Amino acid sequence: MSLQYATAWIWPLIAAPFAGSFLGVLVLRMPVGRPVAFARSACAHCHETLGPAELIPLASWAALGGRCRHCDARLGLFYPGIELAATAVAVWAIMALPPALVWPGCALGWTMLAASLIDFRHLILPDSLVLPLVPAGIALHALIVPDHWPDHVIGAAAGFLGFALIRQIYGRLRGREGLGLGDVKLLAAAGAWVGWVGLPSVVFLAAAFVLTGLAAGRLVGRAVDRTAEIPFGPALALAVWLVWLYGPLVPQ
């Protein structure tokens, strides 16, 4: 195993649980306007401030038996769950990408994970998560595929303008919002990362994921009426991740 390859997978795996822990804070605090970076972590039940030994990803939760050291309340599975999910993203990126792209892949996957959870819980996609993906995607591809970076600029513009138009038309015809503005911005980010060539695959896969979820819900007795708000962000995020890793459904 080459040193370059070993470095490419060891450090992301070490960083992944810590990234997941930060994403957990982001998911819980950002939608409700609480500070993310500078507020101390505390037990949600007794509000006792947590010390460094209680904040080691996965290990602290396991050592404490999933309970608060101060009040013995159950801590739940949210934090270990998102820390494991972030680790899974890193493993997936390592398996699917060349060494030079593992860190960008992790960054994209972790951002998509946080955006998905926030949209699922609150039906919003924060600008501070989604919008930086646009220049990041264009800049990355300007470095790795200099001849094709305009495709990613076109993709970002097509993702935003095309779906903003669809959103506007749907709203005028139906009198209600069918596609959130956050989804439109996420589609712009999708275009920046997968280019205009990959954008149709993202839309197709995301729609397929949503329809599959609705069909599965109907089978277990959880039918959704036509006016229900459905988070589209998780499906879009997964589709962006898959197309960026493996390319469009119809290879060019």
User: Could you tell me where the DSSP H helices lie in 123-224?
Assistant: 127-130, 133-144, 149-174, 181-219
| Residue 193 to residue 133: CA distance in whole angstroms | 8
Domain edges within the chain: 1-122, 126-252
What's the confidence (pLDDT) of residue 128?
A: 92
Number of CB atoms found within 10 A of residue 151's CB: 19
The 10s digit of each residue's pLDDT in 119-144 is 999 989 999 999 999 999 999 999 99
CA angle 213, 137, 143 (to 5 degrees): 145
What's the confidence (pLDDT) of residue 44?
A: 72
Q: Classify the phi-psi angles of 68: left when phi > 0, otherwise alpha if psi is within -120 to 50, otherwise beta.
A: beta
What's the confidence (pLDDT) of residue 95?
A: 92
% of the chain at pLDDT higher than 90: 47
The yes-or-no verdict on residue 178 having pLDDT over 70 is no
81, two tokens? 């769950």
Q: Higher model confidence: residue 229 or residue 31?
A: 31
Do 125 and 118 meet the contact criterion of CB atoms below 8 Å apart?
yes
The yes-or-no verdict on residue 214 having pLDDT over 70 is yes
The 10s digit of each residue's pLDDT in 10-66 is 899 999 999 999 999 899 888 887 777 766 777 677 777 777 777 788 887 888 787
Residues 6+ apart with CB under 8 A from 52: none
Q: Higher model confidence: residue 227 or residue 204?
A: 204
Do 123 and 180 meet the contact criterion of CB atoms below 8 Å apart?
yes
% of the chain at pLDDT higher than 70: 88
The yes-or-no verdict on residue 250 having pLDDT over 90 is no
Residue 192 to residues 100, 129, 131, 135, 184: CA-CA distances in angstroms?
19, 14, 10, 7, 13
- DSSP annotation of 40 reads P
What's the confidence (pLDDT) of residue 143?
A: 93
Mean pLDDT across the chain: 85
What's the confidence (pLDDT) of residue 77?
A: 86
| Residue 55 to residue 69: CA distance in whole angstroms | 12
Q: Higher model confidence: residue 223 or residue 71?
A: 71
